[in-house]
Amino acid sequence: MAQFMPLADAIATHVHDGDTLAMEGFTHLIPHAAGHELIRQQKQELTVMRMTPDIIYDQLIGMGLVRKLVFSWGGNPGVGSLHRFRDAVEKEWPRALELEEHSHAGMACAYQAGASGLPFAVLRGYAGTDMPHYNPNIKRISCPFTGEQLAAVPAHRPDVAVIHAQKADRAGNVLITGIQGVQKEVVLGAKRAIVTVEEKVDDLGAGFNAIVLPHWVIAAVCVVPFGAHPSYAQGYYKRDNAFYTEWDDISRTRESFLAWIADYITGTRDHAGFMAKFNAAHSDKERSNG
Amino acid sequence: MAQFMPLADAIATHVHDGDTLAMEGFTHLIPHAAGHELIRQQKQELTVMRMTPDIIYDQLIGMGLVRKLVFSWGGNPGVGSLHRFRDAVEKEWPRALELEEHSHAGMACAYQAGASGLPFAVLRGYAGTDMPHYNPNIKRISCPFTGEQLAAVPAHRPDVAVIHAQKADRAGNVLITGIQGVQKEVVLGAKRAIVTVEEKVDDLGAGFNAIVLPHWVIAAVCVVPFGAHPSYAQGYYKRDNAFYTEWDDISRTRESFLAWIADYITGTRDHAGFMAKFNAAHSDKERSNG
Amino acid sequence: MADDTKAGYTRDELMIVEAARQLRSGQSCFVGIGMPSLAANLARLTHASEIILIYESGTIGAKPAVLPLSIGDQELAETADAVVSVPEIFTYWLQGGRINIGFLGAAQIDRYANINTTVIGGDGYHHPKVRLPGAGGAPEIATSCGEVFILLRQNSKSFVDKLDFITSVGHLDGGNARQRIGMPGRGPTRIITDLGILEPHPESRELMLTRIHPGVTVDEVLAATGWPLKVSEHLQQTEPPSQHYLDVMRDLQQRTAKAHAGGR
Amino acid sequence: MADDTKAGYTRDELMIVEAARQLRSGQSCFVGIGMPSLAANLARLTHASEIILIYESGTIGAKPAVLPLSIGDQELAETADAVVSVPEIFTYWLQGGRINIGFLGAAQIDRYANINTTVIGGDGYHHPKVRLPGAGGAPEIATSCGEVFILLRQNSKSFVDKLDFITSVGHLDGGNARQRIGMPGRGPTRIITDLGILEPHPESRELMLTRIHPGVTVDEVLAATGWPLKVSEHLQQTEPPSQHYLDVMRDLQQRTAKAHAGGR
């Protein structure tokens, strides 16, 4: 049953050192505030999974909190490389990073299998590629009717799913509007789910066939306005494309990265503090640029 | 690409004798008008699949058009038996009926596999039951990671899918609102899809995450008001529960069944004719009862 | 149907009330049409206001004001927290292990609570005397729900020594048979009939009569069972239904009849 | 980047226009961010108004007024005919065989149009010199689309004799290798570069230069290819881009830059 609580409490209560964590969101609704809170609380030895480990995981990796990454595309969308991810893989800084690498289809199907209570998923994929040589979690399976050879991947069953959504009602039912990614699957496949939302409302106003996650599949709901920034929340705010570009500079060197984290993440108490600082700095910047 | 055409033309063009046909709709949006048209056109030797072959298939079976039925629950919902279905199985009237019998989960997963372009589906089901003894399309499969034994069923890939929906826009994009059943899966898994709709509109008015089938996965769209009657269309008309009860009487004997078909189906030219006759008869009846 | 008793309620009414009393707020409950739906909604309207009703049509958290006549009534869709596809309800929700209680009926049940809803008599599956509707959602409800309640009037036609067909599995041939074939759920934990309640023996899993309804004798139950039914040493008597439960149930039934009468 | 030519357009512009010209109305096209998205939207805004653009974020039939910066921009969701989940886009739509054309880029490509977007150099997969983003949707786009177009600037760093890693399959080691391993799609049918167009030989499937862009010499193409590139006996020259296509493309790019500049 969903309990409303501050984000810091949700992370402290539901995320433990060594957990496998999936923070999903497909460009839209990426739970950045929750990622920042993991850094503030210095959660250790995490296995993190995500189709598109973008800035949110670049930060966790750069801070050395991640032991293993399960993923399918690790870049800064529309900008280029994730420098902290590359530094970890290429130079083992700040530590070596174990990789389990899939395709998008493999990840999506593994999440579906997790949500479906199945131990594995079947897809037509990976054939002829080098990916199975480096990922023992990609196997072949035969169709018992046609004999066709297909790929099998084990289900993703993370300890904790973290997603961001637009609204929760008083009972903790959650509404997702717009691009929905794999959020339903990761919540239903996880042992515990934390959902940050833009706001708590009396009535979701959800039509038929809207994407609603009922309160009883969620452990904690946290009201965190702008909780997806610099990603976007349809109906609330746009993607901060400029910050994705800035991240390329911030994250390029270890020093500038650590300075930014010290300033914006460990140097702020919570997401409201982060947003206040961020907005102040960026309105200054715009003024100085103007 | 969807073409608008009269229902009679769609059935004549896209349904051939011997085809495998799936007319889906889960209580809601059952494509009865299309079923009637199959009877008017006397399509022969059909294999028909449907999770819940209710009145619509009872009529096809009673008219001897069906060679084989693939299904998971064959009753008159909330009323009792399907007498024509029972007569075919128990007495082989008007002909023997081959059965391929699944559970709902098995059927739903087989449709998903069809839509997914996979040759089979995996589910945790059927274990310990007698169903696999009578259905060679239920096999066991091992998880390549855990060794768990699961069930496998072949994908459903019907020649023709037929569904009913609320609206189509001018391009032939179709909106389904409310209980959506397996309609998306059966359309995407079929070689050709016929969709009957309550009305053609300029703009579907579909919100984010609404169930929209794009025009380019549909062969024919037919505007057929009340095309789901006696089933219902959310936002248009309610389920005619009284007719489901009446069907128990109509279908109980071969004679009364054939008389009803002669009167209402082969005795009418199209669905508008059927509805006019049906409404006239039932308003008379109500008067005579009153 | 059972007769009215002097107590002011029928045995069917007692059966429904007793089934409702087994449910608790917060449980997720997979409900079929008919008696299970009546019992689950009675629970929701009395002591278990926060029970979560899930119908296989994809309606999650339905709160119908009147009982549905079909598994996909618009009343269910209009009152649900979420409406999802039928494949999703069977994969993510049922097989996904999200359902605490599954409610089943049956045409036949055996001593290990295996059930038949497929064929009866005649010359086997291909030439039955009576062709029943078939499996529906039952096999996987029986497999994947946390536990299963079966609601069924008790007589020697329905409580049989040997099923004509195993449609859905209870405890198979007993013992730890479910675990052996990898079934995640605990299977049927109680069979609620118009005469009493049967529960599986903790080890053998053979059904035992553990509770008997007021006004029913053990001999009557034994006569209504097609095998030598074991009776618990600690046989208890069911609480009679309270007037409040009877009132709520009858009111729900009347509202339902009224709502569906003006159907056309 | 290619220089401006006297012709009044850059080689990159010619590459994009040429890619757009390969597309037709009515085709369903799986599009990534960047050059493929630019080419596909250019086609939509010119000769192929009824082309169906599908992005892996689940947006089907997107008609963006400006180019998306990410695969899941709200512009895509707001203009799409349908928005579905990411698992659905990969299962029902891509693997389901509903996509005619898949558009891919690459870091490296070999003579059979196999591509690498995973790692380059260093000491193999575990200790690469350059860690690239990885597979994304490419392996299954390459598997399941009716055919695949690859859009890539041509030079000897990207057109290599041997890939450091096979991320997505083109024609493997040639011949009927795709059919042999059960791939439904035809695989890469054309590689559109800033120098010309390469197509697989009908039998060997080895890439051949079949068209060359205006102002480019065959020697230049050979020098930009890390293997001895075969040249078609019927080598043709690409049509220069019409002013209309250039105007529409530049206008789209300007609108895009303007829309995204005011981002915060």
Q: Is the pLDDT of residue C132 over 80?
A: yes
Average of per-residue pLDDT values in chain A: 96
Chain D residues inside the 8 Å CB shell of A111: 87
Average of per-residue pLDDT values in chain D: 94
Same domain, yes or no: A198 and A65: yes
For the entire predicted model, the pTM comes to 0.97
Q: H or E stretch including B162?
A: strand B160-169
Q: What is the mean pLDDT of residues D172-196?
A: 96
Partner-chain residue, chosen from B124, B144, B207, that has the shortest CB–CB distance to A207: B207
Same domain, yes or no: B146 and B167: no
Same domain, yes or no: A133 and A165: no
For A28, the token pair is 């839209």
User: Which percentage of chain A shows pLDDT scores above 90?
Assistant: 95
Q: H or E stretch including B183?
A: helix B183-189
* Residue of C32, C9, C13 whose CA lies nearest to C149: C32
What is d(CA D99, CA B272) in angstroms, rounded to the nearest whole number?
38
pLDDT band at D32 (very low <50, low <70, confident <90, very high): confident
DSSP-assigned beta bridge partners for residue A142: A149
What is d(CA B181, CA C55) in angstroms, rounded to the nearest whole number?
12
DSSP-assigned beta bridge partners for residue B151: B123, B140
The residue whose two tokens read 């993510």 is C92
pLDDT band at A285 (very low <50, low <70, confident <90, very high): low
Is C209 in contact with C198 (CB distance < 8 Å)?
yes
Q: Is the pLDDT of residue B290 over 60?
A: no
Same domain, yes or no: B97 and B207: yes
For B146, the token pair is 């855990």
* Lowest mean pLDDT across C13-22, D63-72, D122-131, D169-178: D63-72
Task: Give the number of C-alpha atoms closer than 13 A to the C-alpha of residue D111, restricted to the C-beta side.
Answer: 18
* Residue of D43, D45, D72 whose CA lies nearest to D56: D72
Q: Is the pLDDT of residue A170 over 50?
A: yes
User: Which percentage of chain D shows pLDDT scores above 90?
Assistant: 90
pLDDT band at B1 (very low <50, low <70, confident <90, very high): confident
Tell me if D77 and A239 make a contact (CB, 8 A cut-off).
no
Nearest residue of B to residue D54, measured between CA atoms: B214
CB atoms within 10 A of CB B10: 25
What letter represents residue C13's amino acid? E
pLDDT band at C6 (very low <50, low <70, confident <90, very high): low
What is d(CA B165, CA A152) in angstroms, rounded to the nearest whole number?
36
Q: Is the pLDDT of residue A266 over 80?
A: yes
Is A238 in contact with A244 (CB distance < 8 Å)?
no
Size of interface A-C (CB pairs under 8 A): 43
Tell me if A209 and B118 make a contact (CB, 8 A cut-off).
no
Domains in chain B: how many in total?
A: 2
**Which are the catalytic amino acids of C?**
56
How confident is the model at residue D90, as a pLDDT?
A: 98
Q: Is the pLDDT of residue B153 over 80?
A: yes
pLDDT band at C262 (very low <50, low <70, confident <90, very high): low
How confident is the model at residue D6, as a pLDDT?
A: 67
pLDDT band at B284 (very low <50, low <70, confident <90, very high): low
How confident is the model at residue D2, as a pLDDT?
A: 44
CATH, range C3-259: 3.40.1080.10
Q: What is the mean pLDDT of residues A165-194?
A: 98
For D213, the token pair is 């862009």
pLDDT in tens, A45-98: 999 999 999 999 999 999 999 999 999 999 999 899 999 999 999 999 999 999
Q: What is the mean pLDDT of residues D34-44?
A: 94
pLDDT in tens, A105-139: 999 999 999 999 999 999 999 999 999 999 999 99
Chain B residues inside the 8 Å CB shell of D91: 112, 115-117
Interface of B with D (CB under 8 A): 1, 112, 115-118, 173, 184-185, 188-189, 206, 208-214, 216-217
Domain boundaries, chain C: 3-259
Same domain, yes or no: B133 and B236: no
pLDDT band at C1 (very low <50, low <70, confident <90, very high): very low
How confident is the model at residue A237, as a pLDDT?
A: 96
Q: Between C116 and C34, where is the model more confident?
A: C116
How confident is the model at residue C261, as a pLDDT?
A: 73
Greatest Cα pair distance in chain C: 54
Peptide bond into B94 cis (omega under 30): yes
Same domain, yes or no: B237 and B225: yes
Q: Is residue A252 domain-resident? A: yes
Q: How far is CA C167 from CA C136, C171, C201, in A?
A: 9, 13, 22
Q: H or E stretch including B201?
A: strand B192-201
Q: What is the mean pLDDT of residues B222-230?
A: 98
pLDDT in tens, A196-250: 999 999 999 998 899 999 999 999 999 999 999 999 999 999 999 999 999 999 9
Contacting residues for C8 by C-beta, under 8 A, at least 6 apart: C243, C246
Tell me if A115 and C91 make a contact (CB, 8 A cut-off).
yes
Q: Is residue A74 domain-resident? A: yes
Greatest Cα pair distance in chain B: 68
Partner-chain residue, chosen from B85, B104, B109, that has the shortest CB–CB distance to C136: B104
- State how beta strands B3-4 and A160-169 pair: unpaired
Q: What is the mean pLDDT of residues A178-195?
A: 98
Q: Is residue A286 domain-resident? A: no
pLDDT band at D173 (very low <50, low <70, confident <90, very high): very high
Q: Is the pLDDT of residue B285 over 70?
A: no
CA angle centred on A151, ends A145 and A155, rounded to 5°: 105
Q: Is the pLDDT of residue B13 over 90?
A: yes
DSSP states along D220-261: HHHHT-SS--EEEEEEEEPPPPPHHHHHHHHHHHHHHHHHHH
Active-site annotation holder among D13, D18, D50, D56:
D56
pLDDT band at C69 (very low <50, low <70, confident <90, very high): confident
Q: H or E stretch including B280?
A: helix B271-289
Q: H or E stretch including C43?
A: helix C35-45
Q: Is residue B111 domain-resident? A: no
Nearest residue of B to residue C128, measured between CA atoms: B90
Same domain, yes or no: A128 and A184: no
Same domain, yes or no: A142 and A252: no
Q: What is the mean pLDDT of residues A150-174?
A: 98
Is D263 in contact with A242 (CB distance < 8 Å)?
yes
pLDDT band at D72 (very low <50, low <70, confident <90, very high): confident
* Subunit partners of chain B (3 or more CB pairs within 8 A): A, C, D
What is d(CA D66, CA D131) in angstroms, rounded to the nearest whole number?
31
Partner-chain residue, chosen from B81, B125, B134, that has the shortest CB–CB distance to C139: B125
Same domain, yes or no: A96 and A188: yes
- State how beta strands B174-176 and B149-154 pair: unpaired
Q: Is residue A94 domain-resident? A: yes
pLDDT in tens, D79-89: 999 999 999 99
Q: Is the pLDDT of residue C172 over 80?
A: yes
Chain C residues inside the 8 Å CB shell of A212: 81-82
Chain B residues inside the 8 Å CB shell of A143: 118-120, 152
Which of D81, D91, D93, D94 to mutate: most B Cβ within 10 Å?
D81
pLDDT band at B118 (very low <50, low <70, confident <90, very high): very high
Same domain, yes or no: A9 and A60: yes
Q: What is the complex's ipTM, to 2 decimals? A: 0.96
Interface of D with B (CB under 8 A): 26, 28, 52, 60-61, 77, 81-83, 91-93, 95-98, 144, 184
Partner-chain residue, chosen from B115, B173, B216, that has the shortest CB–CB distance to D96: B115
Interface of C with A (CB under 8 A): 26, 28, 52, 60-61, 77, 81-83, 91-93, 95-98, 144, 184
Encode burial over B54-85: b for 16+ CB neighbours within 10 A, e otherwise.
bbbbbbbbbbbbbbebbbbbbbbbbbebbbbb
Partner-chain residue, chosen from A116, A184, A211, that has the shortest CB–CB distance to C95: A116
Range of the domain at B136: 118-154
Nearest residue of B to residue C184, measured between CA atoms: B124
Chain C residues inside the 8 Å CB shell of B123: 90-91, 95, 140
Tell me if D135 and A101 make a contact (CB, 8 A cut-off).
yes
How confident is the model at residue C195, as a pLDDT?
A: 98
Is D153 in contact with D193 (CB distance < 8 Å)?
yes
- Phi, psi dihedral angles at B39 (to 5 degrees): -70, -45
Q: H or E stretch including B221?
A: strand B220-223
How confident is the model at residue A284, as a pLDDT?
A: 58
* DSSP E strand boundaries for chain C: 28-31, 52-55, 59-60, 82-83, 101-104, 108-109, 115-116, 119-120, 130-131, 147-151, 188-192, 196-200, 207-212, 230-237
Same domain, yes or no: B123 and B267: no
pLDDT in tens, B21-56: 999 999 999 999 999 999 999 999 999 999 999 999
For C253, the token pair is 């039934």
Q: Is residue A73 domain-resident? A: yes
pLDDT in tens, B75-98: 999 899 999 999 999 999 999 999
Q: Is the pLDDT of residue C2 over 80?
A: no
Same domain, yes or no: B82 and B162: yes
Burial class (CB in 10 A: 0-12, 13-18, 19+), B268: middle
Q: Where does residue C97 fall: left (phi above 0), alpha (psi -120 to 50 degrees), or beta otherwise?
A: left
How confident is the model at residue A287, as a pLDDT?
A: 41
Q: Is the pLDDT of residue D3 over 60?
A: no
- State how beta strands C230-237 and C207-212 pair: parallel
pLDDT in tens, A16-34: 999 999 999 999 999 999 9
DSSP-assigned beta bridge partners for residue D10: D4
Is A188 in contact with C82 (CB distance < 8 Å)?
no
Q: Is residue A282 domain-resident? A: no
Is D73 in contact with D117 (CB distance < 8 Å)?
no
Q: What is the mean pLDDT of residues D205-232?
A: 98
Peptide bond into B230 cis (omega under 30): yes
Tell me if C122 and B131 make a contact (CB, 8 A cut-off).
no
Q: Is residue B288 domain-resident? A: no
DSSP states along A41-105: TT--SEEEEESS--HHHHHHHHTT-EEEEEES--SBTTTB--HHHHHHHHH--SS--EEEE--HH
